[in-house]
Amino acid sequence: MATVMSDSDGSERLEALWARGREFLGTEYAILAGAMSWVSERNFVAAMSNAGGFGVIACGSMPPEMLADEIDATFALTDKPFGVNLITMHPQLDELVEVCREKKVSHVVLAGGLPHGKTIEAIKSFGAKVICFAPALVMAKKLVRSGVDALVIEGSEAGGHIGPVATSVLVQEILPIVEAVPIFVAGGIGRGEAIAEFLRMGASGCQLGTRFVCAEESIAHENFKKAFIRANARDAQASVQLDKRFPVIPVRALNNAASEAFMEVQKDVVTRYHAGEVEQEAAQLEIEHFWVGALRAGVMDGDVDAGSLMAGQSVGMVKKVQPMQEIIDELVEQAVSALRN
């Protein structure tokens, strides 16, 4: 006779599966909100943390003084744990790390490339936990040896800057092998059943971004949110690299005029790079600056034509504007139900 599980059995199973992630984050639920430029600001981050998850400030291109203000403002809205996402190619990275030290930030997420060992050491020196992205098994092992405290493995289904490998492959490649640190799975996750499955496979928690964009507390423009609600999974397309000699990290976004404009910008920058008119690092920063401006136009100004609409393929599961707490509760309820059944 089959054993019938109760709701409490599902809840207890969930608690056991993500206990390591909850302890690492200091949260009620081992669910992180991915750092999204212009979206992941004080109101969004505080709402996420107050709902039991883990919010992360997207520093992006902020100067140190602006980051300091954002951290202070977030602390004023929540007494729950939250983190700060720093881009490794930021020209003032050391100063940003110092801001995190001064503000007693508990978790720092390093994104945008392989972090330097001294950056990891500097963050750990003031007691903060370091989280990094691992797009492959070899990178995961290297980062663990470098002293990072946790990893996010993010598949190509994610929104924004993406790697080349799908989430379903990364979890099989990394989760059974890397056990020294907590691992959070990201990319294409929109429901709690998927969270439960990744936990079963050995993840300590999950990171979601696209699913939270249409939270009531998100300051994203109404037009931006409407574009998400109307979109299907296939509408979130990855940008194309024009020249293999000039590697440009692909960006997944809803296809619009900005996607086409990026191709023209990329073509111009690559041409000038090969003509010796601009160094590679400067050229790549120029490309990144395109996305900063285009994303602001989309998120803040509501320009859904010329603005960037960065979104993951889970966008098809975003159906309406909801309070952050309601979204979190739905995800947890779905995970519990999956584990109960």
Candidate from 54-63, 83-92, 274-283 with smallest mean pLDDT: 274-283
Mean pLDDT for the stretch of residues 197-204:
98
Q: What is the DSSP string of 36-47?
A: -TTTSSHHHHHH
Q: How far apart are CA 165 and CA 234, in angstroms?
A: 17
| pLDDT recorded at residue 341 | 79
Residue 158, φ and ψ in degrees, nearest 5: -65, 165
Tens digits of residue pLDDT in 230-283: 999 999 999 887 777 777 788 999 999 988 888 888 889 889 988 999 988 788
Query: How many CA atoms does the CB half-sphere of 284 hold within 13 Å?
Result: 15
The first and second tokens of residue 5, run together, are 């599980």
Mean pLDDT for the stretch of residues 158-182:
96
Q: How far apart are CA 239 and CA 265, in angstroms?
A: 12
Q: How far apart are CA 302 and CA 166, in angstroms?
A: 30
Average pLDDT over the chain reads 94
User: Which residue ranges form the domains of the chain, and what is each CATH number?
Assistant: 7-220+317-340 (3.20.20.70), 233-314 (no CATH)
The structure's pTM equals 0.93
Q: How far apart are CA 34 and CA 118, in angstroms?
A: 24
Buried b (16+ CB within 10 A) or exposed e, 209-218: bbbbbbbebb
Q: How far apart are CA 218 and CA 235, in angstroms?
A: 22
Hey, CA dihedral for 281, 284, 286, 288, is it positive or negative? negative
Q: How far apart are CA 303 and CA 296, in angstroms?
A: 9
Three-state secondary structure string covering 220-237: CCHHHHHHHHHCCHHHEE
